[in-house]
Structure 1
Amino acid sequence: MSETAIELMGVTKRFGSFTAVDDLSLRVERGEIFGLLGPNGSGKTTIINMISGLSRPSSGGVRVLDIDLLKDPRSIRRRLGTVPQENALYEELTAEANLRFHADLFDVPRQGLDKKITALLDLAQLEHRRKSRVSTFSGGMKRRLALVRALLHDPELLYFDEPALGVDVQSRRALWDRILELKERGTTVLITTNYLEEANVLCDRLAIIDHGRLVALDSPSELRRSFGDTVVEMRTRPAPGEDLLREVRALAGVVSVSVSDSSLKVTVEGGSDVTGRIVTTVVGSTSLEEIQSREPSLDEVFLSLTGKELRE
């Protein structure tokens, strides 16, 4: 068995004259949690549809769990678990009835099914609500039920669209813990998310897609490091002028400079000596009222690569 769970090989997908995915090559390893990020219209949904066997590429190849989806797209369906944005639960059925209905759809053997449902409801912390109608559940409870429903037929690959969508902080952390447990069990998890803290907590690697092309691929920590080692934020009075911005940009070790109102944000590579040169330059031109330094965020990396806010 290959160590690769998903492989896209020079994939292009066109809809008439519009190219949704443009010569994309991408590999997801078995057992990893892989994040797919991109602004609205970047091609994420098209990519997922091709991985799920719901759409064929215009050119290139797609292999999922050693299956060539150009030759046999239907065979992936029973090996794939899906948790869409909309939970798609039957609100007037109980939690148990929802799971039994899913089991029938995927031909899950009746023998041992009761024990399996109990274990999954325990995993979702919902065993005490086994006989409750889903319409009485909170958003976080519904999300957890949707997750374990997707696990009922023992998929090798789980696709999760916006895991934390519409759930509170406590439910979000519980959901993240469940997803991390899946990795420990060897399940490959593919996530699309607009919540960058979620990507940072969960994902082993992230692919950032824009205009159907791969613009970055690495671990969250390496992506942040590629943006710079440190972000130095300074509040000045008066606001920094263009001459000062040019001076700071020209300093060795400065990666990027931006300004908002009276706050100057400088991303740097290197240690405290770089920060020291920046402070000396700023103090020579304006009054420095406040300074702080921190690691770059994934939000900043994303915006630097795509120039767009991560919104749907």
Structure 2
Amino acid sequence: MNPLSYIKPPSVDETSTLMRHPGHRLLGGGTNLVDLMRKGIEHPSGLVDVAALSDLIETRADGSLFIGAATRNSAVAAHPLVRAKYPVLARAILAGASAQIRNMATVGGNIMQRTRCLYFQDPATGCNKRVPGSGCDAIGGLNRHHAIIGTSPSCIAVHPSDMCVALAALDASVHVTGPNGPRIVPLVDVHRLPGDRPDLDTVLDSHDLITAVEIPALPPGTRSAYRKVRDRASYAFGLVSIAGSLGMHGDRIGHVRIAFGGIAPKPWRALRAEAILSGAQAGRAAFADAIASALADAAPQAGNAFKVDLAIRTSVAVLTELSGSAR
């Protein structure tokens, strides 16, 4: 048993100061960190409890939605404004975990959760994310659930969050505070690709604290949806998921945002597909061609090559639904 301290600071400033200690870890709902401690992956010397710091959901003057980092996932998914204006976010959260976990997990903790790769979670295996330089046993191993794009020779782990995929498709920003003061980071820039340092999950420093997430107002008439394909219906991690928001101008596509989960080390924005589809006529063939182009750089493993076709077919279904296209 490793002795550790438990601290519940009363303010963001005091939290930021406490996090300068290299052995301290932030504790929100504990749904990821406590698991990793039990498995011997994380060994903190102190837990800094931030679950009561900022748990609000409010609309700002510019129409954006502001969500405090300590807000429980269940509160976000059930909020009338989220359900009415951002159904993609509500559906992603509901698809992500059981009610018990949603009642504990926080927005900030969801963003910062670590991969659920089986090799990362098993100290007996080689994992560069867990122990740099130890290799990646997922390459050439059991990799059905692993990434097909954005990977490196050092790591093919996939990012586990459903909520973050929806936030990526909503152009969300993350409010962060640290020793150098507050700053705002686009959600799509928070998580890193593995490169040769897969042990670094995000661009945030250990003493940084997420204080809120901000979602801009969607253009009028925009519809959004989230779809997750998994091996079983009961809260399994997704093989492929897609978050989409789309607005039509007649039969032409106006606003379009597409993000994938289950296929990359971070929530994956399909920027190439968005550029192709913007202003294009809606239709299944156009959607399939655009998504195929966005996945042209995919480099699947032997166990997950099916994800390319699955991502295309799932995307076509979601975008067809959002556009109301019968073509």
TM-based fold match above 0.5: no
Greater share of residues in helix: 1
Output the TM-score relative to the length of structure 2. 0.23
By relative contact order (CA 8 Å, sep 6+), the higher-ranking structure is 1
Output the TM-score relative to the length of structure 1. 0.23
